[in-house]
Chains A and B, each alone.
Chain A
Amino acid sequence: MKIALHLIHWAFVLVMPIVLVGVVNRTKSWWAARKGPRIVQFAYDLRRLVGKKPVESTTASPLFRAGAYVVLIAGILAAGMAPMLGQFAPIRFSHDFIVVAYTLGLGRIALMISAMDVGSSFEGMGTAREAAFSTYAEPALFLLIGTASAATGMTSFSDLIGHLHNTPYYGIVVAPLVLTLLILLQAEAARVPVDDPLTHLELTMIHEVMILDHSGPELAAMQFAAALKMTLYAGLIAALINPFNPVTSPLYCVLASLGLMLAVAFVVGCVESLTARLPMRWVTHYLMVASAAALGCMVVIGVGVSN
């Protein structure tokens, strides 16, 4: 049974990025009353990119190409440790959430260095924004984990998320924590209202402007990694809501997780269709909402336990 769960988790890691991007795009076309691309269109796009001969800037150093693969591999490693199916992850040990956060951090620094490598003013601007916003996003994740850690007394990521269901505070904290994760998803995976993947104006981009000079297989790696980050956070949201335990009722759990992740993608698509991106100066405030929600949960648990 364990082996099946391992396989399903890794299948999620590899397939869900494509499906979730498809669902988001379909949702957006549905709101716009268009037919929209196929659900797996992203896979065709990736295949096309992988077959292409890339063009690289003459300014670029060897770090430029290496960066794309570091981003991809770091993303895959982090997704292997994130408990997307509830209280289960293929790689788990105590305090593995630190490794998840910092592996994503490695991916981020590799992305930023590749962007700085071509000496373009636009890419420098995107990097500065990414770096500044990530300082606001990073604490939110740790505050969320702190909440779960105080409530459950556990130490591994999957136990923290999985056991939260059994604590008396679950009903109160689940909504704010989901909000925290949703905001983190939008920030880390470069979605509206933090960033707009479809904008054509370089001045308003964050993630897309950083990969302006990537092409061919390297662009495919970067795009898949971004979709993978969305999958990771969608999976965490699913695990937080998912009422089933992957060990005792695996089938329901996997199905619920799948459904919830698709639902998250639908919500992301709806947000993208119905709202515009925020002005840059408001993005930090938006990200602080994530931290504030998690901090509020911590206080709730503090008051709850001490009474």
Chain B
Amino acid sequence: MNQLILAVLALLSGAGLCLLNTSNRIRAAFGLLSQVVSMLLVWSVAIPVLMGGPAVAGGIAWAYPIGAIHFRLDALGAFFLSWSLPMTLLGSVYAVGYLQKYFQGTRHVGVHFALLNMIALSFVLVYTGDEVVSFLFGWEVAALAAWQLVIWDYTNQKVRFAGFNYLVSTHIGLLFLVAALMILYTHSQSWGFGEIGRWMSRNPGTLRNVAFLLLVTSFGLKSAFFPFHSWLPRAHAAAPAHVSALMSGVIHKAGLYALLRFTLLSGKPDPWMGWFLIAFSVTSAVIGGLYTVGQRDLKRLLGYSSTENVGIAGIGFGVGYLGLAWNSTTLIALGFGGGLLHVLNHAFFKCQLFYAAGCVYQIKHVIDIERLGGLFKLMPVTAVCFVIGGVAISALPPFNGFASEFMIYSGLFSDVRMGIWAKLTLCLVGAVLAFVGAVSALSITRAFGVIFLGNARDTRLPEGHEASRWMLFPMGFHALGTVVLGVVPVAGFVLVTHPVSLFLRAASGSAQVAALQSVTGILSRIGMISGALVAVVAIVLWLRSRRTSQLPDKNQTWGCGYDAPTARLQYTGASFSLDFSQHFRNIMVLLKREKAPVGYFPSDSYVITDCVDAVERRLYNVIDHGDDTATDLSRRMREDDPRLAFATGLAGIVIIAALVLLAEGALQ
């Protein structure tokens, strides 16, 4: 416990030192050093807990009105903590390379590193908080620090807008969270999670259902589930690459953590909660997947794929909920285990993809895929990391995304006894997941093919070369993790075993062991197949390269008889997605601006397709419309009209009465 307090102090003092009046280099060094120290301190507590040790609890006395702050680190929190801090550290290392050009300038880079420290600090608070105050405090620290990090390039109005958009959205989520916590507080009379949990597990009913819906909404906003995702593509496109990576891969996993935390607290859920969660997550996965197809901005594309992937993890959690409701250890182990493993795997490959995008942006200064091309030969390390991440994000073997999606599929197609329609519904969800997988394969092939393969489309851009080692190292490390967790998925499952056992509490000891062991058995098979695949491909390629007599001659690409091809003849991202997206015109809003060529020797013509967010468009329409209506209404109403005063009073009484009814009588 003391180590956790020391880690918090280390991060705070590191953040303070980052602000000192020295050179930017020293400030960054302070930031990185304090993160290393706190990471080691946190590991010294979290790893024993994660490996099955008892939960660590403690508290600090605090002044009125807070009373005391309670901390409790169990296996679930330890799982999230154990990788969140090191990944934040890797992101900070990447920042050193990414912000290189600011180090010599007058810009205060220390603030950025101090904010990264605050992100790490918020993880410690959120993942160990055992009562509402410290949990919400950490939640808010994360939100504000992320907002500040997003607007690094604050002189750009678009970036400021994206940041503000994020700030507003995340606080709307906070309102839902506070509403839920207020309901729970009024009934359990305590800010402690333990008391809240006891009340929730004893009182299933309307109020718990309302609290569940409010919590899911709030955590959905945090993790960018559809339709609460509209802030996400903007924020990810505007932020520096490492900030997008950390937000998508690490920070917003707090929403999923909180969902699981309240699941553990609330006791046995009703089956409808599982179905609701599955429906909510499937929608997210499908819409997120579809939107990745049309994007021109690589970071926006990756942002939408976060919505898709939290949806996939959410499907796993929904299966786990059904397992809890039906007392099926198999479904609990596969659902929560698969979901948690997917969260970890997603953190690995998503950060890696964002880092690759950042490398491209730093060298080329654009991230519009239509202007890039042929980067493989100039940036081979970045390209290989991107393709590994791309195969993993499409959940294909032999990389880690496959292992976790395999577990989630196994949960959907399980042999657990259930009603036939429930069974068929789960199989249908499996088919939808297959569709999502194929869509993400499409969009990642499109992104990789257009950016890294072929020839450079725009020769006016700066010459490409590999990015600095500060950026390649974190990316390579993530790529290594993606490969290792794919070939040895059991290693990933070891990390989630004890968190999953928390959900299996209700089952007997032998049933727990049996459920976990069967999963380990399947995963070791998957690992063997992935390993064999990697090995055989490597051997065949090695043998092929040894046949020197058959090393190929070089010639230009077959142009189907046309002998003067140019780079502009290559297939573009927009044309690539057209075949697919024309069937989904109702869901994806494709804005097209074009100027058709005129005459025999046309000089200027263009087609520009943009895939804009339908939810955001609708939202702004409604806000716009609402604004007008309100103005109109206020103009027509007269303050001295007695009818208006009576009507307002009546509405007030009705609302108060409804609140009293909802709270089941007067409060004590």
Contact = CB atoms under 8 A, between A and B. Distances in A.
Interface of A: 52-59, 61, 63, 65-66, 69-70, 73-74, 77, 91, 93-95, 97-99, 101-103, 105-106, 108-109, 112-113, 116-125, 127-129, 131-132, 134-135, 137-143, 145-147, 149-150, 153-155, 202, 212-213, 215-217, 284, 291, 298-299, 301-302, 305-306
Contacts of B565: 120-121
Contact of B448 (A113, A124, A305): A113
B305 to A, nearest CB: 15
Nearest to B377: A61
10 contacts: A59-B455, A70-B537, A99-B526, A102-B405, A119-B557, A124-B449, A131-B442, A131-B446, A155-B415, A302-B421
B555 interface: yes
A25 B541 CA distance: 32
B387 interface: yes
A127 B576 contact: yes
B380 to A, nearest CB: 8
Contacts of A65: 541, 544, 552
Contact of A57 (B398, B557, B576): B557
B473 interface: no
B432 interface: yes
Interface of B: 373-374, 376-377, 383, 387, 390-391, 394-398, 402, 405-406, 409-410, 413-415, 419-421, 423-424, 427-428, 430-435, 437-439, 441-442, 444-446, 448-450, 452-455, 522, 525-526, 529, 532-533, 536-537, 540-541, 544, 549-550, 552-560, 565, 567, 569-571, 575-580, 583
**Shortest Cβ-Cβ A-B pairs, 4 listed:** A124-B571, A146-B427, A119-B454, A116-B449
Given A105-B438, A301-B420, A113 B445 contact: yes
A112 B525 CA distance: 28
A301 to B, nearest CB: 7
Contacts of A66: 537, 541
A139 B435 contact: yes
B376 A63 contact: yes
A69 B449 CA distance: 19
**Chain B interface main SS type:** helix
A63 B550 CA distance: 17
Nearest to A101: B434
Contacts, number: 256
B328 to A, nearest CB: 14
A56 B537 CA distance: 20
Contact of A150 (B423, B549, B577): B423
A121 B540 CA distance: 30
B553 A54 contact: yes
A143 B428 contact: yes
Given A55-B555, A120-B558, 17 more contacts: A55-B554, A57-B554, A57-B556, A59-B454, A65-B552, A94-B410, A99-B526, A103-B533, A109-B390, A117-B454, A122-B560, A131-B445, A138-B434, A142-B431, A212-B558, A305-B420, A306-B420
Among B377, B444, B529, residue most surrounded by chain A Cβ atoms (within 10 Å): B529
B391 A103 contact: no
Contacts of B427: 142-143, 145-147, 149-150, 298
Nearest to A107: B396
Contacts of A123: 571
A120 B544 contact: no
A110 to B, nearest CB: 9
Contact of B376 (A61, A125, A128): A61
B554 A113 contact: no
B657 to A, nearest CB: 44
Nearest to B456: A119
Contact of B522 (A94, A97, A108): A94
B560 A61 contact: no
Contacts of A63: 376, 387, 453
A69 B540 CA distance: 7
B441 A119 contact: no
Contacts of B413: 95, 97-98, 145-146, 149, 155
Contact of A116 (B402, B454, B533): B454
Given A59-B454, A121-B569, A135 B439 contact: yes
Contact of A99 (B383, B406, B557): B406
Contacts of A57: 554-558
Nearest to A143: B431
Contacts of B576: 124, 127-128, 131
Given A53-B553, A120-B558, A213-B558, A108 B441 contact: yes
A141 B438 CA distance: 12
B387 to A, nearest CB: 7
Nearest to A96: B525
A108 B441 CA distance: 9
A99 B558 contact: no
Contact of A95 (B409, B533, B577): B409
Nearest to B576: A128
Given A119-B454, A149-B427, A59 B555 contact: no
Contacts of A127: 445, 449, 571, 576
Contacts of B406: 95, 98-99, 102
A109 B396 contact: yes
A105 B441 contact: yes
Contacts of A305: 420
A211 to B, nearest CB: 11
B557 A59 contact: yes
Given A119-B570, A284-B583, A109 B455 contact: no
Given A95-B406, A153-B415, A128 B578 contact: yes
B374 A59 contact: yes
Contacts of B526: 99
Contacts of B454: 59, 116-119, 124
A146 B431 contact: yes
* Most central of B413, B433, B550 by chain A CB within 10 Å: B413
Contacts of B558: 57, 118, 120, 212-213
Contact of A139 (B395, B431, B554): B431
Contact of A53 (B394, B541, B549): B549
Contacts of B567: 119
Contacts of B374: 59, 119
A63 B387 CA distance: 10
Contact of A155 (B414, B423, B525, B541): B414
Nearest to A306: B420
Contact of A138 (B390, B415, B438, B557): B438
B562 to A, nearest CB: 9
B537 A113 contact: no
A58 B554 contact: yes
B486 to A, nearest CB: 11
Contact of B441 (A134, A142, A149, A155): A134
Most buried by A among B414, B424, B525, B559: B424
